[in-house]
Amino acid sequence: MNQVEWRTSLRLVGTVLKWLWVPFLLPLGIALYDGTAVTPFVLPMAGVVVAGEGLERLTTDTTFREREAFLMVAVIWLGVAVVGAVPFVVAGAGTLADPVNALFESMSGITTTGATVIIDFDAHSRAILMWRAVLQWLGGLGILVLATAVLSQLGVGGGNLMETESQTRDVTKLTPKISETAGLIWRLYLGLTGLQVTVLYGLHLGGFAPKMTLFDAVAHAFTTISTSGFSPRAASIAAFSPAVQWVIIPFMVIGATNFILIYFVSQGHFERLRDSEEFRFYLAILAFFTIAVAGILFLDGGPHTEPESVVRHSLFQVVSIVTTTGYASTDFNFWSSGAKHLLFVCMFVGGMAGSTTCSIKALRWLVVLKAFRRDLFVASNPRVVRPVRLSGSVVDEQTIRDIYAYALVSLLFFIGATIFVAVDASRGQLTVSEFEAMGAAAATFFNVGPAFGIAGPFESYEPFSRSTKLLMTFLMWIGRIEIIPVLVLLTPSFWRT
């Protein structure tokens, strides 16, 4: 074992950074069209090219093992977050002018979290609001490539299971090179984004969505397929008609569906949907929580009165939170304690592995459920050997152990973060209830976005203390890249021989 070749990692980070000037073109174009400031975009465009080229020249070494991959993943997300914050600081408008806020917003963007520190949406140019959406779209694409090409190879938190269950292995046969897999996913991602823009703007042109301008259609398509949830509107999806809300629901579901599975379905292999235990489990989760929330809202007799609106808001919010999108079709702060707690539980679930979804993910919970049921069986029948099966294949015991550990460590992080937020708030002047602290900790760590009360869907994370906001920035970072790549960096042995 040799030392980690950090130069190799940084060289690859450089290759990513170097091309980061391209996505700045969209907000730059809007700024030129609107006649608003262009420096917030031109400056970082120049910066990333220089920095990227510089990092690429660090080394010619091509050693690339697990350690270099972990370091690269951690640094890319952190680096892009820093670059993404530059336009906010340079534009200098509203709460985003503060560097801590800007970094929070940018990290919330690239990690597809969707928690915002904006208070006054009107203070910001359309170009800046579009930059937030672009960051999330990039973050979604980045995680897809990461999940299918890198994390599954590294076996993070049972990631090798994704190899079989998510059918990554099948696609690896189709496209033996990582670059080909990435290309396939990238075209699918682009296609789905285009489809949603068309549908949303079509609704507008058809008169079903008066407020859904082309700008809004693009921004929302960017932040739906990436299950990320930034909206240029302060009222999120509640700003739009019920038709828009109904249309966004299936796109959120698709964003949190395994993209390899979507690819096969797009090729006409519908039987893959039925064959995937994870997909059936994911749909069952959505159905279960929607029925439970709708049942509670009906029994509560409020705040929604029409049956259609109870069903729509229940389905929308459950899908929004399980997929970790974080859009709001209504201010669920006004829902009863039971309904809010159900949404809180949804934060821990997440959609399918191999998608843009965040959180612990349905695949891991399915393995936990099956393995624990097996463990109970073996406890009373210790002489029986019973493997855990998923979609017909045996899940190996080391994968099960890794998944138990991943879920456990996630919960411990969540508990620790909750305590930090609650205690830090109590030391300041901010009134944050324990439930609000729990919600805000889960919403940032699991990259959901909005939570409850002070961190509610129409509120802002701005009032939290700077230390809390920095903690949350850290939580969004490690939550998005599945914890392990960051924790590995924190072990001394990583840096030694």
**Separation between Cα atoms, residue 116 and residue 421, nearest integer Å:** 17
Q: Can residue 412 be called a binding residue for a second copy (CB under 8 A)?
A: yes
Q: Can residue 439 be called a binding residue for K ion (CB under 5 A)?
A: no
Q: Provide the mask over 135-154, with x wherever binding to a second copy is found by CB under 8 A and - wherever it is not.
A: -------------------x
Q: Report the site for a second copy in 26-55 (rule: CB under 8 A).
A: none
Query: Can you tell me which of 63, 179, 393, 433 binds a second copy, judged by CB under 8 A?
Result: 433
Nearer to a second copy, 306 or 434 (CB): 434
Query: Least CB distance from residue 93 to a second copy, whole Å?
Result: 35
The answer to whether 92 and 181 are in contact (CB under 8 A) is no
Q: Can residue 493 be called a binding residue for a second copy (CB under 8 A)?
A: yes
Q: Is 205 exposed, middle or buried (0-12, 13-18, 19+ CB in 10 A)?
A: exposed
Q: Can residue 229 be called a binding residue for K ion (CB under 5 A)?
A: yes
Supply the Cα-derived Rg of the chain in whole angstroms.
22
Query: Least CB distance from residue 471 to K ion, whole Å?
Result: 18
Closest CA to 232 of 340, 122, 358: 122
Residue 493 contact partner, candidates a second copy, K ion, none, CB within 5 to 8 A by sort of partner: a second copy
Residue 281 contact partner, candidates K ion, a second copy, none, CB within 5 to 8 A by sort of partner: none
**Separation between Cα atoms, residue 430 and residue 169, nearest integer Å:** 50
Residue 379 contact partner, candidates K ion, a second copy, none, CB within 5 to 8 A by sort of partner: a second copy
Query: Least CB distance from residue 388 to a second copy, whole Å?
Result: 11
Q: Where are the alpha helices (DSSP H) in 335-483?
A: 337-346, 362-380, 397-427, 434-445, 466-480
Q: Can residue 178 be called a binding residue for a second copy (CB under 8 A)?
A: no
Give how many residues touch a second copy by CB under 8 A: 54
Query: Least CB distance from residue 369 to K ion, whole Å?
Result: 24
Number of other residues whose CB lies within 10 A of the CB of residue 475: 29
Residue 380 contact partner, candidates a second copy, K ion, none, CB within 5 to 8 A by sort of partner: a second copy
Query: Can you tell me which of 6, 121, 215, 435 binds a second copy, judged by CB under 8 A?
Result: 435
Contacts 24+ apart (CB under 8 A), 241-245: 241/203, 241/208, 241/209, 241/210, 241/211, 242/308, 242/309, 242/312, 243/203, 243/208, 243/209, 244/200, 244/203, 244/208, 244/209, 244/212, 245/312, 245/316, 245/329
The answer to whether 128 and 140 are in contact (CB under 8 A) is no
Residue 397 contact partner, candidates a second copy, K ion, none, CB within 5 to 8 A by sort of partner: a second copy
DSSP 267-316: TT-THHHHH-HHHHHHHHHHHHHHHHHHHHHHHHT-S--SHHHHHHHHHH
Q: Can residue 430 be called a binding residue for a second copy (CB under 8 A)?
A: no
Q: Can residue 97 be called a binding residue for a second copy (CB under 8 A)?
A: no
Q: Which amino acid is at 269?
A: H
**Separation between Cα atoms, residue 162 and residue 363, nearest integer Å:** 8
Q: Report the site for K ion in 91-120 (rule: CB under 5 A).
A: 114
389, β-bridge pairs: 394
**Separation between Cα atoms, residue 310 and residue 224, nearest integer Å:** 22
Nearer to a second copy, 29 or 155 (CB): 155
Q: Is 169 exposed, middle or buried (0-12, 13-18, 19+ CB in 10 A)?
A: middle
Residue 22 contact partner, candidates a second copy, K ion, none, CB within 5 to 8 A by sort of partner: none
Query: Least CB distance from residue 73 to a second copy, whole Å?
Result: 12
Q: Can residue 334 be called a binding residue for a second copy (CB under 8 A)?
A: no
Q: Can residue 376 be called a binding residue for a second copy (CB under 8 A)?
A: yes
Nearer to a second copy, 103 or 417 (CB): 417
Binding site for K ion (CB under 5 A): 114, 228-229, 324, 326, 449
Binding site for a second copy (CB under 8 A): 1, 4, 66-67, 70, 154-156, 336-338, 341, 344-345, 368, 371-373, 375-377, 379-382, 384, 397-398, 400-402, 404-405, 407-409, 411-412, 415, 419, 422-423, 426-427, 433-435, 438, 484, 487-488, 491, 493-494
